[in-house]
Structure 1
Amino acid sequence: MSKTTLALIAAASAGAGAAVTAGMYSLRSQSERKLDTKTISTTTTTVSTSPSAVPAPVPIPAKQVFTPPNQQMLSTSSPSVLSTAPVDPAGLFDYGFPGPVSDIASREALVSSFDRRTRNPHWVVEHITPASLAQRGGDRQHSTFLEDDGVPEKFRAKLKDYYRSGFDRGHQVPAADCKWSQKAMDETFFLTNMSPQVGEGFNRDYWAHFEDFCRRLTTRYPSVRIVTGPLYLPKRDPVDNKWYVKYEMIGNPPNVAVPTHFYKVIFAEDGRTGGNVAIGAFVLPNAVIPNEKPITDFEVPLEAVERASGLEFATKLPMTRRRRLCADTTCALVIKDYAARQKAFVKK
């Protein structure tokens, strides 16, 4: 690791250095920066509902998949099985599959990959449009947090892990993005869509404003796809001057990892076939963030999130179709009093 890379990591702190921290992951040689024209191929998973049923290809398994990796197959070109829904989160895979293929869950409003080691998602994909946000078929008051029984019990995040932990059950795909259906909203409350988040000052404040920013993008773009997930970034120890990845565990016994940071990668589509896609990548610390801090302070190169997460987000999207989101539109938060509304909901 070069001195330049170490210096960039050193700039990271809970309140101000998230963008610089993730930025160090984007350092690479000029030869590596050449456009990768290779096509990543994926195969097709077939799901049978009965021994006699004829298997048919689907974009993502309809349920959690626990078959060996060499038997797990995915197709990005097959028609969506969610044809009645106003959104198609699996459409993001037209740009490339993030990976890894691990406990994939395909639900009405989201597709997720779960990390059994940390009991957090690797990533969760959603799709929002002006039409999906305009519908009002779901009510958060009818939804409850649920353990995901699609994950084996010994690898599962538990409701009791969060009890008196000091952390919120932080949605990766927010319930407010899925009001078009009660079922879709209910499915955002699975713990496979959750990570421990700092409550006051983050999940109930800055992070909520950031989610609102993503929804407001639909006033300019007819289709917005978002990938969200946790990160565990290194920090220098002041005693021995060495670098460590250090994070808290919650639960008794310790079961769920508390991420140090969270990322969002936004694909804002102009709606034309083969049209332009405005990409925005952001890394935020899992900490109190002042509401006056510009969201652009947390903007990073897409490559930075890829290096930090071990994932890839746009392997199939040519550079000629890419635009930088915050150059294509204004990236600014609108501050709303989400905290007071959440407190009122809890009391009710």
Structure 2
Amino acid sequence: MAPPSTGSGPIETTARANTHSHAAIEGFAQCPQHFPGHAPTVAWPGRQRALCFDGFAALYSGESKTPLYTAQKLTRASVEAAKGIQRVDRFYPEARLPAADRAQLVDYVGSGYDRGHLSPAGDMPSVTAKAQSFSLANMVPQAPKLNQGAWNQIEQSTRKYAARATGPVFVFTGPSFDRQPGTIGPGKVWVPSHTWKVVYSSGDGRAWAYWTLNQGGTHSLQPISYREFEQRSGLALLPEAVH
């Protein structure tokens, strides 16, 4: 997930990008329950913002106008509670973000892409958490056939696993971008080349990932190893002992 070159100027150094990220994740001190340890940093140029929600956390980029990742904790009890919460599709721009950094509803209109949840509405164990999951700060432009097909199956299989796991299951979800990403809407929201999901079962220390091309067509539901995910993405999201 290397920072793309947008043609607007030199990419910031890794040290400076890390400074942005370290400053941003201090905001996660308000919601440590969503992480299996310390919130991971992402070396990424420009503005980052840590956003805490009831059911998940999002590290948000004002450059891409998408999350860089979301993080959440699933348990048997939370999965069971989520089953009884009715879904109401009320998407909204995130008012906690500066106006210049926000994705807007108009950006997705006529774009050909779905507003793809990173932390799924189906995971949310309360009315408030489910409503918050429709923030555009939890969305990326996602190909409809992926969002409504294979990606939905991945979300369902993750919930099923969490419902029978021996301990909490932590989930990171995010986008991967090409060096020169396409954009949608007047706000130029970046379109991911891939979307991914990392699942960490804390009860037995297992971790795996899904890596999907953000296009229509057939997608593999076969997970990859966490080590392979690190190699593909350049991200280290879990404690070092997990491989």
CA RMSD of aligned residues (A): 2.8
Are 2:183 and 2:190, in contact at CA under 8 Å, matched by a contact in 1?
Answer: yes
The reply to whether residue 248 of structure 1 matches residue 182 of structure 2 is: yes
Q: Percent identity?
A: 25
Say which of 183, 200, 215 aligns to 1:287: 215
Per-residue Cα deviation, 1:174-198 (whole angstroms, up to 9, x for no partner): 10000x2110001110001000001
**Unaligned residue ranges in structure 1 (runs of 5+):** 1-21, 26-67, 83-87, 234-244, 271-275, 323-348
Are 1:113 and 1:124, in contact at CA under 8 Å, matched by a contact in 2?
Answer: yes
Are 2:194 and 2:211, in contact at CA under 8 Å, matched by a contact in 1?
Answer: yes
Q: Kindly tell me: are residues 301 and 69 of structure 1, through their superposed partners in 2, closer, same or farther at Cα, counting changes over 3 Å?
A: closer
- Structure-2 separation of matches of 1:232 and 1:215: 26
**Which one is further off, 211-220 or 121-130?**
211-220
May I ask how many residue pairs the two structures share in their alignment? 221
**Unaligned residue ranges in structure 2 (runs of 5+):** 3-19
Give the C-alpha shift of residue 124 in structure 1: 0.1
Helix, strand or coil: the match of 2:159?
helix
The reply to whether residue 202 of structure 1 matches residue 202 of structure 2 is: no
Aligned twin of 2:111 = 165
- Structure-2 separation of matches of 1:70 and 1:262: 24
- Structure-1 separation of matches of 2:134 and 2:190: 18
Helix, strand or coil: the match of 1:131?
helix
Aligned twin of 1:52 = none
Are 1:138 and 1:183, in contact at CA under 8 Å, matched by a contact in 2?
Answer: no
Are 2:40 and 2:237, in contact at CA under 8 Å, matched by a contact in 1?
Answer: yes
Say which of 37, 54, 58 aligns to 1:112: 58
- Structure-2 separation of matches of 1:73 and 1:300: 27
TM-score by length of 2: 0.80
Are 2:21 and 2:41, in contact at CA under 8 Å, matched by a contact in 1?
Answer: no
The reply to whether residue 140 of structure 1 matches residue 87 of structure 2 is: yes
Are 1:145 and 1:189, in contact at CA under 8 Å, matched by a contact in 2?
Answer: yes
Give the C-alpha shift of residue 307 in structure 1: 4.5
Aligned twin of 2:200 = 267
Q: Kindly tell me: are residues 156 and 135 of structure 1, through their superposed partners in 2, closer, same or farther at Cα, counting changes over 3 Å?
A: same
Q: How does 1:167-246 map to 2 (within 5 A)?
A: 167-178=113-124, 180-199=125-144, 201-221=145-165, 222-233=167-178, 245-246=179-180
Give the C-alpha shift of residue 81 in structure 1: 6.2
Give the C-alpha shift of residue 70 in structure 1: 7.2
- Structure-1 separation of matches of 2:170 and 2:188: 31
Structure with larger Rg: 1
